Each structure stands twice: as C-alpha cells, then as structure tokens.
C-alpha cells in the first residue's frame, strides 16, 4: 500500500475516474501540491480591465470617483462600474454546479441599485441587468467584452451571470453542462491538475 497515496487506498490500483476525483473528499494537485476538496470554484480577483495591483479594499470603503477595487465592487476612472458575479456551469453526474467568479460591467444606474440592495440582499429591480463580461476565461474562446445579463440574487448572494450569445462555447456549457473530464481540463488550465498522492 506504500506509495499509492489517497487514491490507491480508496480505489486500489485502478486510476479513479474524473467523476470519482470530483466526488472524493480530497485530491492532491500535481501542479501546486495542495490538497483540494472535491469540486471547487475558480475566481478572478479583478476585472481584466483593472490593470493595477489587486489590493482589495473593504466593500464599505466604496468610492465612485477614481479607482476602487474590493471583493465585490470595482470602479475604474469613476466611469466604469463592475460587480463580481458567478458564472455557474452544471457538471454531469454532480449535484452541485461549478462556478467561475467573474466580473461584469453595469450601467451607473444599475450599479447604484446593486450597491443599495447589497447589505440586505433586497433589490428594487431584480433585472436582469445588461453588461459586458469583464474577464477572459482559460479553456474557452474569448469572453471579455461579450454582452451578458446580470441576475441579482436575494439574500446577499453574488449575482448570476449569463452570456447573450447563446452560440458561444461558454454559454453552451452553461446550458448543457460539461463532463467531469472537461472540468479537470479546466482546472489544469488554471494550474490545478489531479496527480500525486
């Protein structure tokens, strides 16, 4: 049993399937050597447009003039307003969805609506609000500046985002889901591949 690691102990000598890896309690990353817990989300700390150090300020310090970045809000030059969203993708065989933490622009009016409802999770207008997708995602054709819809969520949950172009590979993935193998490929694109043990 020595040298076989967690997967060897759990599954004998057989290599686990992608679904088994995602459903397992823990798996060792071949790239970063960290132990990951089953399926996890990937997030962008800032919109790709940010172009500065990604030092986050508290949400409560929000400024609408100049530049501002927190974990939920971004303002660039006092003219471009972004909110952090979740792009959910179903994974075949998994009860939960895989999520990308991404950013979208909003008009100043909708940004103000979002900020006004942020603390209590209640919005006067539940949208969807139109915006521009604010990040490129590895493993998919270009997504930055794609038209999108931002769907506010109740109860202080981040908004869910969807692409307007239903033929884009990312929109198809959101609608039809992806295989566990495809998700492991996406993890590898971000430097997290199953291996070691």
* Residue pLDDT, tens place only, 146-165: 999 999 998 889 999 999 99
pLDDT at 77: 97
The partner residues of 84 in beta bridges, in order of sequence, read 103
Distance CA 126, CA 189 (A): 34
Residues 172-177: what's their mean pLDDT? Answer: 97
Q: Tens of pLDDT along 61-115?
A: 999 999 999 999 999 999 999 999 999 999 999 999 999 999 999 999 999 999 9
Which range, of 18-22, 107-111, 129-133, 162-166, averages the lowest pLDDT? 18-22
pLDDT at 78: 97
Residues 30-59: what's their mean pLDDT? Answer: 86
Would you kindly state where each structural domain of the chain is located, as residue ranges? 39-189
Distance CA 147, CA 130 (A): 7
Residues 163-187: what's their mean pLDDT? Answer: 95
């Amino acid at each position: 049993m020595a040298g076989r690691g967690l997967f060897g102990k759990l599954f004998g000598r057989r290599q686990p399937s992608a679904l088994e890896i995602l459903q397992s309690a823990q798996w060792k990353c071949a790239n970063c050597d960290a132990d990951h817990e089953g399926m996890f989300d990937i997030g962008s700390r800032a919109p790709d447009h940010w172009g500065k150090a990604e030092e986050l300020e508290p949400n409560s310090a929000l400024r609408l003039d100049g530049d501002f970045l927190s974990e939920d809000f971004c303002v660039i030059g006092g003219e471009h307003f972004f909110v952090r969203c979740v792009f959910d993708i179903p994974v075949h065989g998994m009860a939960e969805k895989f999520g990308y933490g991404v950013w979208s622009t909003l008009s100043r009016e909708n940004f103000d609506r979002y900020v006004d409802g942020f603390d209590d999770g209640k919005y006067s207008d539940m949208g969807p609000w139109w915006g521009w997708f604010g990040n490129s995602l590895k493993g998919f054709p270009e997504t930055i500046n794609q038209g999108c819809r931002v769907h506010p969520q109740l109860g202080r949950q981040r908004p869910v985002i969807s692409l307007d172009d239903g033929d884009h590979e990312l929109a198809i993935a959101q609608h039809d889901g992806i295989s566990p193998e495809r998700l492991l490929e996406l993890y590898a694109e971000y430097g997290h591949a199953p291996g070691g043990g």
